[in-house]
């Protein structure tokens, strides 16, 4: 069965889209640790990071780096953190999280945003992609 992220990529489930290339897709995490928390995923549906072929692995990192720069330009923060977990959604994804404290990486501290706020953040990040 297709993962929730494949459904997002295909446009079957809505998302706050940030960017798309032939092979990768970025959108805001719906339950963010911090404003601007973004997920970068390969369109290829693979469960675990280390099961990606090397080209997709390095391509994903290059894509996430580009999106990370745009997040850093958009969201006031100390730095953008990166983590890969995948225990909830079995489709490789890189979390990019604007950080001010260690707690922002903990996945226990969440921020609530309205749809308008999500849209505003996504649009601002999109505008800062080089
Ligand atoms: P994990 O698989 O543990 O790395 O976590 C999956 C992440 O995907 C969580 O941070 C969720 O909030 C996020 N997530 C799950 N469903 C959606 C969705 N439909 N749109 C955006 N983010 C999602």
Q: Would you say 68 and 82 are in contact if contact means Cβ atoms under 8 Å apart? A: yes
Q: How confident is the model at residue 108 (pLDDT cuts 50, 70, 90)?
A: very high
Distance between CA atoms of 114 and 110, rounded to whole angstroms?
13
pLDDT attached to residue 29? 98
Ligand 1 binding pocket (C-beta < 6 A) is 4, 13, 15, 29-31, 39, 85-89
Burial letters for 1-16: b for 16+ Cβ neighbours within 10 Å, e otherwise? eebbbbebbeeeeebb
Question: For a pocket test of ligand 1, which of 88, 96, 111, 115 has the largest count of ligand atoms closer than 8 A to its C-beta?
Answer: 88
Write out pLDDT tens, residues 30-73: 999 999 999 999 999 999 999 999 999 999 999 999 999 999 99
Mean pLDDT of 97-124: 97
Query: Is domain 4-127 classified as CATH 3.30.428.10?
Result: yes
Q: What is the pTM of this model?
A: 0.98
Q: How far is CA 7 from the centre of its chain?
A: 15
What is the position in ligand 1's atom list of the atom closest to the CA of 13? 19
Indicate the domain borders of the chain: 4-127
Q: Would you say 89 and 27 are in contact if contact means Cβ atoms under 8 Å apart? A: no
């Amino acid at each position: 069965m297709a993962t929730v992220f494949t459904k997002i990529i295909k446009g079957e489930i809505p998302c706050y889209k940030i960017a798309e290339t032939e092979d990768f897709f970025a959108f805001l995490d719906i339950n963010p640790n911090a404003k601007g928390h973004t997920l970068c995923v390969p369109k290829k549906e693979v469960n675990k990071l280390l099961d990606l072929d090397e080209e997709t692995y390095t391509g994903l990192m290059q894509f996430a780096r580009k999106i990370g720069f745009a997040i850093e330009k958009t969201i006031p923060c100390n730095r953008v953190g990166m983590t890969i977990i995948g225990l909830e959604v079995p489709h490789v994804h890189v979390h990019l999280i604007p950080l001010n404290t260690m707690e922002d990486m903990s996945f226990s501290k969440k921020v609530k945003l309205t749809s308008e706020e999500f849209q505003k953040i996504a649009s601002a990040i999109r505008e800062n992609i080089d």
